[in-house]
Chain A
């Protein structure tokens, strides 16, 4: 049996409770026995029945903010075991829809990316289409633009709702570095986050990116796992206030 409830405390935690029924002959722990013992306090009897294995489990569960105990029936033999786990409520970024046909191997179930607002800037139509789809697959909400100018104006009109800008470095007219510099002139280093996309294999591209105020970099060809990893890394660092 499985139940779930919210405590009276402010919406910080959600508890999940497991009730496990004990059948004749089964025991919840190494040392539990079912000898009738009507004397003594109920709590003590339960504890007497707890073997080392159970005690260890109990300790672990309690360290994780949960609890576990054995309930006795009137004959003081173990009737059921209850496990309570407590989870902290995380802010949700929005709802995600999972395509029923998607394979379970995909990195698309990371809740961090759900509803993440992204502006994607790439002058190449093909790359833009593929990267956009890729980001959407990860759960992001993507606005795709084809130049540095469009990127800056989209950012301005969106005010603070855009969390991340994914920027192709090699764009004609205004390249990614220029765009990043302009963004950082008026915005803080971690909002919006900027991830550069580059075809270059040179070592010092990353340094240049950092200097321009970018937070991450990904090399072409852009693959799902690579993007997911870099997104995660960048969001994590931002969360740590780095």
Chain B
């Protein structure tokens, strides 16, 4: 039993850390609230969708910036679709560079965005792995917190 409690403690602590660092917010709480018997994997599904969506967006962005004649309007539209509280500043800068038609600025922003997403992905994967460990040890997930 002790190992379950330990794992649960780890999970709770890690989640709190992610909230503090701004990787998770109220919306994550809400996703947990929406999870129920009819949709037991809702959170994982949504997060997976989020990463697939983001990866597609980032690829589109990279491709758009490689074009001979860059369509800044399209790039701006893609940036508009990016999600994440932490990305707000970068996105604002990104859109400004679009307006200025500053390709280097855009590329710099794109790299920042890529790094950020990569980080978020790693953190969330860790979170879900911890969750799996708790469940495998016979414990229950202490959501919502």
- Which residues of A line the B interface, CB within 8 A? 99-103, 106, 124-126, 129-130, 133-134, 137, 170, 172, 221, 223-224
**Which of B2-10, B30-38, B94-102, B121-129 is the contact stretch?**
B30-38
Cβ contacts under 8 Å, A172 to chain B: 77
Say yes or no: A130 contacts B34, CB within 8 Å. yes
Bound form: Cα–Cα A126–B27 in Å: 12
Cβ contacts under 8 Å, A102 to chain B: 36
A-B contact pairs, 11 of them (CB 8 A): A99-B37, A100-B37, A103-B33, A106-B33, A126-B46, A130-B31, A133-B34, A133-B42, A137-B34, A221-B27, A223-B27
Q: Does B81 contact A (CB under 8 A)?
A: yes
CB distance from A61 to the nearest CB of B (A): 39
CB distance from B48 to the nearest CB of A (A): 10
Q: Which residue on chain A has the smallest CB distance to residue B80?
A: A170
Bound form: Cα–Cα A224–B26 in Å: 11
Say yes or no: A224 contacts B30, CB within 8 Å. yes
Cβ contacts under 8 Å, A134 to chain B: 30, 34
Bound form: Cα–Cα A133–B46 in Å: 11
Q: A124-B81, A125-B49 are in contact. List 4 more A-B contacts (CB 8 A).
A: A99-B36, A103-B144, A126-B53, A224-B30
Q: Does B67 contact A (CB under 8 A)?
A: no
Bound form: Cα–Cα A137–B33 in Å: 9
Cβ contacts under 8 Å, A125 to chain B: 49, 53
Say yes or no: A101 contacts B36, CB within 8 Å. yes
Number of interface residues of B (CB under 8 A): 21
Q: Does B19 contact A (CB under 8 A)?
A: no
The dominant DSSP class at the B interface is helix
Cβ contacts under 8 Å, A103 to chain B: 33, 144
Bound form: Cα–Cα A17–B36 in Å: 36
Cβ contacts under 8 Å, A106 to chain B: 33
Q: Which residue on chain B has the smallest CB distance to residue A226?
A: B30
CB contacts under 8 Å to A, within B44-86, are 45-46, 49-50, 53, 77, 80-81, 83
CB distance from A106 to the nearest CB of B (A): 7
Q: Does B39 contact A (CB under 8 A)?
A: yes
Bound form: Cα–Cα A167–B31 in Å: 20
CB distance from A66 to the nearest CB of B (A): 37
CB distance from B82 to the nearest CB of A (A): 11
CB distance from A102 to the nearest CB of B (A): 6
> Which of B34, B37, B38, B50 is in CB contact (< 8 Å) with A126?
B50
Cβ contacts under 8 Å, A124 to chain B: 53, 81
Bound form: Cα–Cα A137–B35 in Å: 9
CB distance from B113 to the nearest CB of A (A): 16
> Which of A100, A101, A129, A223 is in CB contact (< 8 Å) with B30?
A223
Bound form: Cα–Cα A130–B45 in Å: 10
Cβ contacts under 8 Å, B80 to chain A: 170
Cβ contacts under 8 Å, B144 to chain A: 103
Cβ contacts under 8 Å, A170 to chain B: 80
Bound form: Cα–Cα A223–B37 in Å: 20
